[in-house]
Amino acid sequence: MWLHHRFGLSFGDVEGLLAEHGITVTYETIRQWCLTFGIEYVRRLRARRDRMGGTGHLDKVFVKIQGRQQYLWRAVDEDGNVIDLLVQSRRNRRTVESFFRTLLKDTATHRAVGRAQHPAVREQSCGGLAPTDPSTGAPDAPLQFSRPSATLCVHPRCGPEPASNRSTFGMLGLDLSAPDHTTLSRRGRYLDPTLRGASTAGPLHLVVDSTGLSITGQGEWAAVKHGGRGIRGWKKLHLSVDESGVIVGHALTGGHVDDATTAIDLIAAVDGDLACVTADAAYDTVGVYEAAAGRGAKVVIPPTRTATVSRRGPRSSVRDRTIKAVEEAGRRRWQKESGYHRQGRVENAFFRYKSVLGEALHARTPGAQTVEIQLACNT
């Protein structure tokens, strides 16, 4: 039951995990355990809960349970530890007041704060990860968590089911305090992780392409909150990979930004020598050919179906030769002879990205989205 509820694992996943440790139990049995012992489990957890200290905080979020929107009230103490939860199908003020009064027994002082008045993080020891980052999000707030610790906490958020930061520190054997969600959202936009690219020997075969990632901004979220469906926006993730599929460059742009324009920047950002630039027909522009020629690289880009040789002198002699070669040999044969199959490397990179990290961006602000993409590409 703890595995199912704590980490959001399905009953089948729990069955497989226990089987790996020599425990044979069916997923149906686990489901029956949750139904039979769940209420007793909650009752014992409530009996063991800690009392709030000098300050308590209460706030609500919207969650979906079995497809229906519910109100989830969460009470935490001054250290951010969850004291109790309350789920409502509709907002009931009297029930919430009774819920909070129960928590305030034997408590000296308390106050409820809204979402905009999130409790400030108390002074905590950072151990070996000393504070080094001056960007805190508030002009006079002291820095509580270092850049490495904040990066480590934000990193799991790129996955579809983020792990608990406190559990992550425990697995690594680090005696550190974990930042709360608001602190991570505020600090995340100021992080600047670098892309860890693999070193290659010799000139680089660069493959470029783009894909779409959906986003949900404040406007769409508010529309859903007030009963509307909302329209999900999207952004483009541009990747450049080497011949083995390792990501060597990336860019996050708006959904209507031209692919070829971004490819020119990706080509210019590559360190070292370029042997070849491969892309699909969306990059069949003179600017891409000129950017590759400036780096002394061969271009393998199939021309568009309506491409013709320039009549007023060759604007790009390389592109004109490609158009003639496709007309003479046929598109399929040209792709085989030119090595256009390398374009599949970047398609595989997108498949790995979306299989592991999902097809959406979790962050809302542009700065935080850029950091999320950098961490995701490192993953």
Parse the chain into domains and list their residue ranges. Answer: 1-48, 51-119, 121-192, 204-378
DSSP-derived letter for residue 242 is: -
Is the predicted pLDDT of residue 345 greater than 80, yes or no?
yes
Q: Element (H or E) spanning 287, and its range?
A: helix 286-294
* Per-residue pLDDT, 47: 75
Phi, psi torsion values for 342, nearest 5 degrees: -60, -20
Residues 318-343 have a mean pLDDT of 88
Helix (H, G, I), strand (E, B) or coil at 206: strand
| pLDDT tens sequence across 29-83 | 998 998 889 888 888 877 776 665 666 777 888 888 888 888 888 887 766 777 7
Q: Are the CB atoms for 259 and 287 separated by under 8 Å?
A: no
**Whole-angstrom distance, CA of residue 324 vs CA of residue 328:** 6
List the structure tokens of 267.
Answer: 């080509």
Average pLDDT, the chain: 77
| pLDDT tens sequence across 273-287 | 889 999 998 998 888
Residue 109's contacts (CB-CB under 8 Å, 6 or more residues apart) are 54, 55
Q: What is the CATH number of domain 204-378?
A: 3.30.420.10
| pLDDT tens sequence across 218-273 | 555 565 565 555 556 788 999 999 988 889 999 999 888 889 999 999 999 888 88
**Whole-angstrom distance, CA of residue 84 vs CA of residue 75:** 5
* Per-residue pLDDT, 230: 54
* Per-residue pLDDT, 122: 33
In which region does residue 244 sit, left (phi positive, over 0), alpha (psi from -120 to 50) or beta (all else)? alpha
Rounded percentage of the chain residues whose pLDDT exceeds 90: 14
Q: How confident is the model at residue 314 (pLDDT cuts 50, 70, 90)?
A: low
Helix (H, G, I), strand (E, B) or coil at 171: helix
| pLDDT tens sequence across 119-168 | 333 333 333 343 444 444 444 455 566 777 777 777 655 544 445 666 67
* Per-residue pLDDT, 210: 93
Is the predicted pLDDT of residue 325 greater than 70, yes or no?
yes
* Per-residue pLDDT, 158: 55
Predicted structure pTM score: 0.59
Report strand pairing: 56-65 vs 233-241: unpaired
Q: Which residues of 368-378 are buried (b: 16+ CB within 10 A; e: fewer)?
A: bbbbbbbbbbe
DSSP-derived letter for residue 343 is: G
Q: In what order do the strands lie in the sheet with 233-241?
A: 247-254, 233-241, 204-215, 274-278, 298-300
The beta strand positions in the chain, using DSSP E, are 56-65, 68-77, 82-88, 204-215, 233-241, 247-254, 274-278, 298-300
Report strand pairing: 204-215 vs 274-278: parallel
| pLDDT tens sequence across 71-114 | 888 887 766 777 778 888 887 777 777 777 776 664 543 333 33
**Whole-angstrom distance, CA of residue 176 vs CA of residue 184:** 15
| pLDDT tens sequence across 174-203 | 777 767 777 777 777 777 777 776 666 778
* Per-residue pLDDT, 63: 85
How would DSSP label each residue in 107-135?
-S------GGGPPPPPP---TTS------
* Per-residue pLDDT, 74: 81
* Per-residue pLDDT, 219: 59
How would DSSP label each residue in 8-45?
---HHHHHHHHHHTT----HHHHHHHHHHHHHHHHHHH
**Whole-angstrom distance, CA of residue 281 vs CA of residue 278:** 10
**Whole-angstrom distance, CA of residue 300 vs CA of residue 284:** 10
Report the candidate in 285, 157, 262 with the shortest Cα–Cα distance to residue 208: 262
* Residue 285 Cα distances to 55, 263, 267, 301, 315, angstroms: 62, 10, 14, 9, 11
Q: Which residues of 141-176 are buried (b: 16+ CB within 10 A; e: fewer)?
A: eebbbbbebbbbbbbbbbeeebeebeebbeeeebeb
* Per-residue pLDDT, 209: 94
* Per-residue pLDDT, 348: 92
